[in-house]
Amino acid sequence: MADDLARIASELAGRIGEGAMARELRVAVAESLTSGAIATRLGAASNSSVWFAGAVVAYAAETKFRVLKVDRGPVANARCAVQMAKGCAELLGADLAVAVTGVGGPDPEEGHPPGTVYVAVSSGAGEVVDQHLFEGGPSEVVAHATIAALEKLLAGL
C-alpha cells in the first residue's frame, strides 16, 4: 500500500507542476504533521524550479505563530490551516499555497483523535479548507495527508 500511495503522490505532483506551468503560477507549501513530505513530492516533479516557490515546515506551534503569522492558540484546526496557507503564500510570494496541520498520532491532541487532519488552500480566489479523519499509525496518516494536500492543491489550480 505504501508503494501505491507514493506512486499516487508522485503522479499528483506531476499534474500540479503541469497545471502551474500552464497557468504561470507559483506554488508553495506550509507543512506541520507531514514534516516536508508534500514539498519532497513537489520538488521532485518535472520543472519544479520554475513553478515551486518552496515550503515552510512549521512543526512546532511557536514556528507557526512566528513565521506564518498564525494566531496564538490551538493549532490542530481549520483556522490554523487557513492562516498557515495564507502566511506561506505571502512569505514565499506564491500564487497558490497548501497547508496541512492536525494530529498525526499516536495519541490524541487538542481534543482531536489521531488522524484528524486539516488541509487548506489559499489562492487569489480566497481560502478553502477540508477536515479529514485518516486511520492508521503516524506514517500512514502522513501518507494519506500528503495525498489529500496534493489533491486539494490540484483542485485549486
Per-residue pLDDT tens digits for 37-83 = 999 999 999 999 999 999 999 999 999 999 999 999 999 999 999 99
Secondary structure of 11-63 in HEC code, one letter for each residue: HHHHHHHHHHHHHCCCEEEEECCCCCHHHHHHHCCCCHHHHEEEEEECCCHHH
**Are 103 and 76 in contact, with CB atoms under 8 Å apart?**
yes
Q: What's the alpha-carbon Rg for the chain, to the nearest Å?
A: 14
Is it true that domain 2-156 has CATH number 3.30.70.141? no
Give me 31's grid cell. Answer: 507543512
Annotated domain spans of the chain: 2-156
Please state, rounded to an integer, the average pLDDT across all residues of the chain: 97
Q: Has residue 2 got a pLDDT over 90? A: no
The pLDDT assigned to 3 comes to 86
> What is the pTM for the complete model shown?
0.97
